[in-house]
Amino acid sequence: MSRLNSFYLPPDQWNGPEESVFLEGPEARHLLQVLRTPVGSEVRLFDGQGRDGLFELTEAQRKRALLTPRRVTHHEPPIAGLTLALGWNKATRRGWLLEKSVELRAGGLAFWRARFSQGTPPPVKPSWEEKLVQAAKQCGNPWLPSLHSLSGLEQVVRLGANYDRCFLLWESTDAQELLRPSMLAVGRSLAVVGPEGGMAPEEVSILLNADFVPVSLGASILRWETAALHCLSLAHYGSTRAQS
């Protein structure tokens, strides 16, 4: 059987588990005008916060669709979640990384201004959130990663207070412990990755003094997006093994 088409309905637009909902805006246009979905068809809705369900298209209006629930599921929160605090740079692969963060079930991405950053991260953009939604439609992840835009390292340290463990990804022989999947298998973790130019010594000192644990990703010096993807893969593998 072919996979059902999925559509994003923000959490505040869901009604009770047996009440119909309206799909509006670009999602409704895609459902009705692009896919030309006939009344009576079944589709999947999700809210990015662990809720999804099967709905029947019961009424097709010009700019919105009325959908009636057939089955709604509330998924348990993940047992683990890795948030990457990524030093800001003008990487052309940012959109690609946003997509992979959904596929590999990241807890979140936080972009922060480092000393060697290429500019300051802007406020979280709707286009970034749209990348997450489109990736979730493809892979079926009911949870969207959180997105943060931070002006500096002090905000990263404050963010770390909300996590069970915090890591500093450090290209130094002083970081002798290798980051392993078991370190990310349970609980909420935050891992700091520097920008393309690396982190300044004073930035490293701030994180070490805030009890961020220095860890290595191996002998190679990895590009920004490679380091991020490697961390996400370790976390995904670790949490998958912990649940099996």
Domain boundaries, the chain: 6-74, 80-243
Q: Is residue 174 within 8 Å of residue 180, measured between CB atoms?
A: no
Which run of H or of E encompasses 53?
A: strand 51-60
| Alpha carbons within 13 A on the beta-carbon side of 39 | 8
Q: What is the pLDDT of residue 213?
A: 95
Q: Does pLDDT of 10 surpass 60?
A: yes
Give per-residue pLDDT as tens, 197-211.
Answer: 889 999 999 999 999
Average pLDDT, the chain: 93
**Does domain 80-243 correspond to CATH entry 3.40.5.10?**
no
Topology of domain 6-74, CATH: Ribosomal Protein L25; Chain P (2.40.240)
Give per-residue pLDDT as tens, 109-168.
Answer: 999 999 999 889 999 999 999 999 999 999 999 999 999 999 999 999 999 999 999 999
**Model pTM score:** 0.92
Q: What is the pLDDT of residue 244?
A: 77
Q: Does pLDDT of 46 surpass 50?
A: yes
Rounded-to-integer distance, Cα 229 and Cα 110, Å: 14
Q: What is the pLDDT of residue 146?
A: 97
Q: Does pLDDT of 51 surpass 50?
A: yes
Rounded-to-integer distance, Cα 130 and Cα 25, Å: 13
Rounded-to-integer distance, Cα 80 and Cα 217, Å: 20
User: In the structure, what pLDDT confidence band is assigned to residue 18 with cuts at 50, 70 and 90?
Assistant: confident
Measured CA to CA in angstroms, residue 58 lies from 22, 54, 109, 212 at distances of 10, 13, 37, 53
Q: What is the pLDDT of residue 92?
A: 67
Q: What is the pLDDT of residue 3?
A: 74
pLDDT mean over 8-36: 94
Q: Is residue 166 within 8 Å of residue 210, measured between CB atoms?
A: yes
Q: Does pLDDT of 66 surpass 70?
A: yes
Q: Does pLDDT of 1 surpass 70?
A: no
Q: Do domains 6-74 and 80-243 have the same CATH topology?
A: no
Q: What is the pLDDT of residue 2?
A: 56
Q: Token pair 């500096």 is at which residue?
A: 152
